[in-house]
Amino acid sequence: MPPAQRHHPTLADVAQRAGVSASTVSRTMRGLSTVSPEVRARVEQAARELHFVVSRQASSLVTGRTGVVAVLAPTLNSWFIGSALSSLGPVLRAAGLELLVYVIPDMTERTTFFERLPARRNADALLVFSFDLSEEESARLDDLQVPVVYISQHAEGRPSVYVDDVAAARAGTRHLLGLGHRRIAFVQTTGASGFVFSSHERLLGYQQALGEAGVEPDDELVVATSPGHKRRTAEAVGTLLSLREPPTAIFAEQDEVAVSVLWTLRNAHVDVPGRMSVLGFDDHQMAEWSDLTTIAQSPGDIGRAAGELARDLINDPEADQARHIVLPTRLIPRATTAPPQQAGPATPE
């Protein structure tokens, strides 16, 4: 048959073959949970036999939906974000949703995004990764009139999926305190202003644990570096080692930084954990390779939970729009933490 005369199957054709209504076919194609597995299988079989393909544009006109979930992220060059997206994608695909990613790595692109809000026209929900948003920016996202889910951060009154960074960092610091350390340094990460949420929370947890133990905070023990910058990390560690009273333990805000700290210490012939204990946060794969003691979180679980929450909010406008999902963390003791050495004369190695 010439192409001009070929009949393109319609929703009604699929409904007739499957023995259901057109609205049931529509619900099936949109992945709604109100369709029974038996009916879903009949509709999908009929669609395959007829080579029926859903038109995204036509579906949007009928339902008011795009079938797309957008992600707003500061970078894709991140173990955490990459792992979360790897788990998020399958959840959305199973619900018949596509993934659209907006990467805004600097303040210029960030300003442009919030001025134009492209997700307003292009997505049924927006997932926001690890941003410290101003009140004005949060209000702009509220204007989207679609669910906005905050990932790896607590957003008051808005749907959020995260770990309790304060409690986790407090537990990590308590681990070092329990080993007998009192001079505990904290290495935090710095980057573009406004792009790091967890950093502040983890520093707060560290400070709270010291206060609970009656240890006087020392601003000289808090230093900063950038992930992936070995020289800057080496300078930060050098600053700590040159103090009149150096620390006996270092808590690095991320495993990537902790591994860089380990590399610097070993290069300087500082015994770990004999002279210096090192603790990380994340349980990145390199933490296991380095036998690094760390606070573990699961970005994969966070991505899955965020996808399920977005799906539920899209399908049910009456769902709780302020739901918070707090996932667990746990301490994984490995070979980089131990009680501090007793002060005394140096012994040859």
Same domain? 23 vs 141: no
User: Quick one: which of 75, 25, 69 has its CA closest to 47?
Assistant: 25
pLDDT at 108: 87
* 344 Cβ contact list (under 8 Å, min separation 6): none
Q: How long, in residues, is the chain?
A: 349
pLDDT at 5: 45
Q: Work out the pLDDT band at 246, boundaries 50, 70, 90.
A: very high
Separation CA 40–CA 18 (nearest Å)? 9
Query: Would you tell me how many other CB atoms lie within 10 Å of the CB of residue 297?
Result: 23
Separation CA 199–CA 186 (nearest Å)? 11
Please report the sign of the dihedral spanned by the C-alpha atoms of residue 197, residue 198, residue 202, residue 208: positive
* Tokens at 235, concatenated: 């300078």
Same domain? 35 vs 16: yes
Q: Work out the pLDDT band at 296, boundaries 50, 70, 90.
A: very high
Residues spanned by the domain of 42: 3-63
337 lies in a domain?
Answer: no
Q: What is the CATH number of the domain that holds 104?
A: 3.40.50.2300
pLDDT at 64: 59
Separation CA 270–CA 262 (nearest Å)? 9
Same domain? 117 vs 174: no
Question: Is 313 in contact with 319 (CB distance < 8 Å)?
Answer: yes
Tell me which residue has tokens 């929703």: 11
Tell me which residue has tokens 């018949």: 96
pLDDT at 196: 65
Q: Coil, strand, or helix at residue 99?
A: strand
Residue 20, CB-side half-sphere exposure with 13 Å CA sphere: 22
pTM of the model as a whole: 0.79
pLDDT at 33: 67
pLDDT > 70 fraction of the chain, expressed in percent and rounded: 89
pLDDT at 30: 65
Q: What is the CATH number of the domain that holds 10?
A: 1.10.260.40
DSSP 217: P
Same domain? 269 vs 316: no
Same domain? 156 vs 305: yes
Q: How many domains does the chain have?
A: 3
Separation CA 146–CA 129 (nearest Å)? 16
Same domain? 45 vs 130: no
Separation CA 178–CA 122 (nearest Å)? 51
Q: Specify the amino acid at residue 85.
A: L
Separation CA 218–CA 236 (nearest Å)? 15
336 lies in a domain?
Answer: no
Whether residue 177 is predicted with pLDDT greater than 60 in this model: the reply is yes
Across the range 183-208, mean pLDDT stands at 83
Question: Is 123 in contact with 102 (CB distance < 8 Å)?
Answer: no
Please report the sign of the dihedral spanned by the C-alpha atoms of residue 17, residue 20, residue 21, residue 23: negative
